[in-house]
A and B are shown apart, each in its own frame.
Chain A
Amino acid sequence: MAGSGKVHMRNTGNTVLSVEDLVVEFALSKKIAVQAVSGISFDLIQGETLSIVGESGCGKSTLGKAILSLLPVTSGSVMFAGSDMTKIDKEAVRNLRPQMQMIFQDPISSLDPRYTVRQLVSEPLEIWSRGSAEEQSVKVDELLNSVGIDPAIAGDRKAYEFSGGQCQRISIARSLALEPKLLICDEPVSALDVSIQAQILNLLQDMKERYGLTMVFISHDLSVVKAVSTRILVMYLGKVCEIATPDSLYDSPKHHYTYALVSSVPIPDPSKKVSRVILEGEPPSPVDPPSGCRFRTRCPAATELCATEEPQLRDMGGGNYVACHHPRD
């Protein structure tokens, strides 16, 4: 696994977000620092959905937060709307924030329990003084209707009165209030039942079309991102393993880690006995990552080369880029 390299970057005119060599470090003590994200690059074209997939601790949420400048970036650049978010001052970052919004994993704890639904959705409009009070109220009704919540019935109730799926709908309405260009969804459905999951995924697709959104979708579950993604980026211990379109990723995963992720998804059909690769153990500590390819300690195909040299991303054709010395056929 590896990581570095930028062959997958496209230089088209309508790039919304371009991340290059992004590194995010956290200091554990004065001497030791852990790199949660170590040298990630990708770009995102208007209207695309990029899914970032990996296990807990691979740095995917840190990456999402770093894109929004919610965390200090150690090095690298995040180009959004013509500015490098890592170089401009705080006030300039704040002025860009309405254009980039985030939906969080736990829909219940990410909404203030003392606010009514109407207050939750109108708060961004008030902060940014968008329109008169009357216009704001019309906008809130429109947003709530569009996410399938009846403002007349639910508008004056508080968030804790709703189920997880409904809270996630309210979060979506709130994040769309300022009509952002970029929406980052951090595990938006992992706290929900499968039946509700499908509803929220469909809703996100509808909202994407309706508001012309570009999305980053963070998840640990490859099956969830299948329907929504234009491209999928697989992360392991802060590095990129593979970046590909969904069809080529699911049909022929090139990276051994991607293959393991694909085969861990349970298939609701007992007659299908797929050859399953169950990964042993857990990711090593990012404080002291393995040399060379970071996945080599759990990889069935690891050789000496993997310990000494970090694989670079290379073009496998068909829109598939992989960072592996011994990719799968």
Chain B
Amino acid sequence: MSSLLSLSNLRITFDTPRGQLAAVRGVDLEILAGESLGVVGESGSGKTVLSRASMGLLTMSTAHRSGTVVFDGQDLSTASREAVRDTWGTGMAMIFQDPMTALNPVRRIGSQLAEGLRVRLGMSKKEAKKRSIELLQLVRIPDPEKALRKFPNQLSGGMRQRVMIAIALACNPKLLFADEPTTALDVTVQAQILQLLSDLRKELHMSMVLVTHDLGVVAGHTDKIAVMYAGEVVEYAETKELFTNVRMPYTEALLNSIPRLDQKSSGRMAVIEGRLPDPTQQEPGCAFASRCPYVQEKCQVEHPELQKADNGHEFRCHFPLGVAR
């Protein structure tokens, strides 16, 4: 498979009153055509900034980028605003977390769906309407003609998220970013939406980046997983490999904190004590050192580099799990 999106040494900083805030600190990632990648991390780990930066959505003057973003053979880091814009919709598209605030509350679903079709694909009104109906059918919305005339507030959270997906898919993107697409939804609806995204990805031969804080969500729906912590990728592997052979203590802690229905409950839940380090500071050692149950002296002073095992499993730890210590 060929590379579709490739990030190298991507670094994003923001100017804040407290100084430079480094949200993404040197990320290298590659997404192949047709592949689905899960990006997992806690709030503040930089996962959302990473996906927005990949699409060129960080246009505010306080955001600074270094490193490169190459999409479909085109270097977006040196491209003009117009060239970046041209990749939106047809190249890359995004589904945002909160479907209520991402949709315009005073415009009907039909006009929001048709916008991309008219502007990006130059369709006539009639063509756009026909395609809109097809799109709503694609995302399994019952009675699509009626749905086109509704306003977002007349739809449930799950239906709104389906509309968001339809809008994102309108111009046949090659890569779909889904940023916490199910966090605001019930578990039953979450299961429906995740299944829908998986099915659509296969039907339309898209690549997908699924951004979430929940390892449970990505387990059944991705080929590979990148775990982020404090702006860095700390573990990267094929999904099966990651779950059977966790190397990074942070990933292990994240896995343990998920309440499991398939295991007996012990009453108390495992937690990750403490919290993410201050993003305006750069500590010398491993960013996870202060919360790591296996911390050693070396972790406090030397920043671990990303190591790569033979099977492509990457991890950023001086004392990885699964090795006698």
Contact = CB atoms under 8 A, between A and B. Distances in A.
Interface of A: 55-57, 163-164, 193-199, 201-202, 205, 220-224, 226-227, 246, 250, 260-272, 274, 276, 278-282
Given A266-B191, A279-B188, A197 B257 contact: yes
Given A198-B269, A267-B219, A270-B219, A261 B188 contact: yes
A271 B191 contact: no
Contact of A205 (B259, B260, B268): B268
B42 A193 contact: yes
Contact of A269 (B42, B190, B219, B253): B219
B158 to A, nearest CB: 6
Given A198-B271, A226-B261, A268 B255 contact: yes
Interface string B131-154: 000000000001000000000000
A220 B157 CA distance: 14
B206 to A, nearest CB: 20
Contacts of B192: 278-280
Interface in B233-268: 239-240, 243-244, 253-255, 257-262, 265-268
A282 B158 contact: yes
A267 B269 contact: no
B265 A260 contact: no
A222 B261 contact: yes
Contact of B257 (A56, A195, A281): A195
Interface in B174-200: 186-192, 194-195
Contacts of A195: 42, 213, 253-254, 257, 271-272
Contact of A199 (B156, B158, B215, B271): B271
A4 B261 CA distance: 28
A7 B189 CA distance: 32
Interface of B: 42-43, 142, 156-159, 186-192, 194-195, 213-217, 219-220, 239-240, 243-244, 253-255, 257-262, 265-272, 275
Contacts of A261: 187-188
A222 B188 CA distance: 11
A279 B193 CA distance: 11
Contacts of B259: 197-198, 201, 223-224, 226-227
A221 B240 contact: no
A202 B271 contact: yes
Contacts of B217: 266
B260 A55 contact: no
A204 B56 CA distance: 42
B258 to A, nearest CB: 5
B317 to A, nearest CB: 18
A282 B193 CA distance: 12
B271 A220 contact: no
Given A223-B261, A224-B259, A227-B268, A268 B243 contact: yes
B158 A198 contact: no
B157 A223 contact: no
A194 B261 contact: no
A329 B189 CA distance: 26
Contacts of A279: 188, 191-192
28 contacts: A55-B188, A193-B43, A194-B213, A194-B216, A195-B42, A195-B213, A196-B42, A196-B43, A198-B269, A198-B270, A222-B187, A223-B260, A226-B259, A227-B265, A266-B194, A266-B214, A266-B217, A267-B219, A267-B220, A267-B260, A268-B215, A268-B216, A268-B258, A268-B260, A270-B239, A278-B192, A282-B156, A282-B158
Nearest to A246: B265
Contacts of A246: 265
Contacts of B275: 163
A278 B255 contact: no
B186 A220 contact: yes
B158 A227 contact: no
B235 to A, nearest CB: 14
Contacts of B158: 282
Contacts of B266: 227
Nearest to A223: B259
Given A250-B261, A278-B192, 17 more contacts: A57-B156, A193-B43, A195-B271, A202-B268, A205-B268, A224-B259, A226-B265, A227-B267, A262-B261, A264-B187, A265-B261, A266-B219, A267-B261, A270-B220, A270-B239, A274-B262, A276-B191
Contact of A270 (B188, B190, B195, B243): B243
- Which 3 pairs across A and B sit closest by C-beta, in order of nearness? A266-B216, A264-B191, A198-B269
Contacts of A280: 192
Contacts of A199: 271
A262 B272 CA distance: 26
B271 A55 contact: no
B187 A267 contact: no
B157 A56 contact: yes
A115 B296 CA distance: 42
B186 A267 contact: no
A326 B167 CA distance: 41
Contacts of B195: 278
Contact of A194 (B156, B240, B257): B257
A55 B158 CA distance: 11
A273 to B, nearest CB: 8
A202 B256 CA distance: 14
B179 to A, nearest CB: 14
A279 B188 CA distance: 7
A53 B255 CA distance: 24
Contacts of A278: 188, 191-192, 195
